[in-house]
Copies of this chain bind each other. A is one copy, B any other.
Amino acid sequence: MKQEVNLLEAILLAASAPIKKSKLAKIILDFELVLNELKESLSEHGIQIFESENEIELTTREEFGEQLKEFFKLESEELSTSLVEVLSIISYAGPISRSGIEKIRGINSVYSLKRLLIVGLIEKVYNSQRKNIVLYKPSGEFLKHLGITAVESLPNYFEFRKNIIG
């Protein structure tokens, strides 16, 4: 077991990217168990497993955000008000379609969506029943930037969601 846990850790470091759990499960027996062990073994460390619905990744722990920002001299890219607006609708009311966003904003939002896709802050989700409907949701990249693992941790999430979706 210990071997498997360490192998998983090594794969995640080598990939330097999120990896599909389903792929990992193909070569790691009892994957879920191994994953939990790894999380456990990292609980006292400066690094952690960042987990989304389908993927996992090795990342830094949020409490070091400030210090890492300083060490690597990182700055948030300036985002225009329209971009933040579309991003907040997708974060609080997503997954949501383009027409849903446009109904809320009262304006064509195609440019903002394109830009957010390219910078990797949002992702497309395809509806399993209706393949031609594209929905948008915030990307793991965006959540990591904010230091959260799920949209539910956003401030006033449920209140804003209820009022925006209506």
Contact = CB atoms under 8 A, between A and B. Distances in A.
Interface SS majority for chain A: helix
Q: Considering residues A16, A24, A103, A119, which has the most beta carbons from chain B within 10 angstroms of its beta carbon? A: A16
A8 B14 CA distance: 18
Q: Considering residues A5, A45, A58, which has the most beta carbons from chain B within 10 angstroms of its beta carbon? A: A45
Given A17-B114, A107-B117, A7 B74 contact: no
A134 to B, nearest CB: 12
Interface in A22-75: 23-24, 26-27, 41, 44-47, 58-61, 64, 67-68, 70-72, 74-75
Interface residues of A, number: 51
Identical chains bound together, number: 2
B46 A5 contact: yes
Nearest to A9: B46
Interface of A: 2, 5-11, 13-18, 23-24, 26-27, 41, 44-47, 58-61, 64, 67-68, 70-72, 74-75, 102-103, 106-108, 110-111, 114-115, 117-120, 124, 139, 141
